[in-house]
Amino acid sequence: MRAYGKNIRISPKKLRVVAEVVRWEKAESALNFLKFAPKKWADVLYKVLYSAVKNAENNDKQDASKLYVDKLIITKWIVYKRWNSVSRWRMHPILKRTSNIRLELQVK
């Protein structure tokens, strides 16, 4: 049972902070944590995990209370490059990073 989040406009480094807490947790407790987590981007992980749980219930007829997060992989994706002009015709780069989420659930 898998779910993906692709081309998300957040740096992978910021997403990995929240992902470390959720890895190898039960799906229900991970959903509760992500719903009220103080981090800004926890709602993105919540949506991907919620989608994976609903896919497992609907497509594979699994019980949500027996599911746990087996793999949660955050990878970097495209980096959008922008430029900030400064004095004397110089430019400073602005790197807008994106990431992909791959989440897999297993039954205990």
What does CATH list as the number for 2-107? 3.90.470.10
Closest by CA to 53, choosing from 62, 45, 40, 44, is: 62
Q: What pLDDT does 96 receive?
A: 97
pTM comes to 0.91
**Region class of 60: left (phi > 0), else alpha (psi between -120 and 50), else beta:** alpha
Distance CA 22, CA 62 (A): 20
Q: What pLDDT does 108 receive?
A: 86
Please list the ranges in the chain whose pLDDT falls under 70: none
Q: What pLDDT does 53 receive?
A: 97
